[in-house]
Amino acid sequence: MKITATTEQGNTIRLALPAPTWEGSDNCGTGRTREAIYVSPKARRCVVKTYSIWDNGNGQCVGDRYALIEDTDTLNVLAGEYPEVAAALEQCGLVTAEEL
């Protein structure tokens, strides 16, 4: 599946997603739910899918959002919360066992 993701710098890019490494429903902020985490070993990328219920006046924040995670600290937090994500991130070299 191809999606449009937002980078940490605020740019949007088109990406092909692999099968989800983790799926579920986990609150990750007020009005925001983490729904899936995709780790692509081949592309060495981590994408997080969230769902937001907040409307900022023009409808841009409502619905599914995809974010490309590049920050090491954020990757370590995700790895600490989800064991299956930790294994996938370590396998593709985005985090090391020492960082966890």
Q: What is the pLDDT of residue 97?
A: 76
Report the C-alpha gap between 72 and 96 in whole angstroms.
10
Alpha helices in the chain (DSSP H): 72-81, 83-91
Summarize pLDDT for 20-75 with one digit per residue, the tens.
Answer: 999 999 988 777 889 999 999 889 999 999 998 776 666 566 788 899 999 999 99
Q: What is the pLDDT of residue 54?
A: 72
Locate the domains of the chain by residue range.
2-70
Q: What is the pLDDT of residue 98?
A: 75
Q: What is the pLDDT of residue 99?
A: 67
Q: What is the pLDDT of residue 30?
A: 72
Overall average pLDDT of the 1-18 stretch: 92
More confident residue, 52 or 86: 86
Cα–Cα nearest to 63, from 18, 4, 2: 4
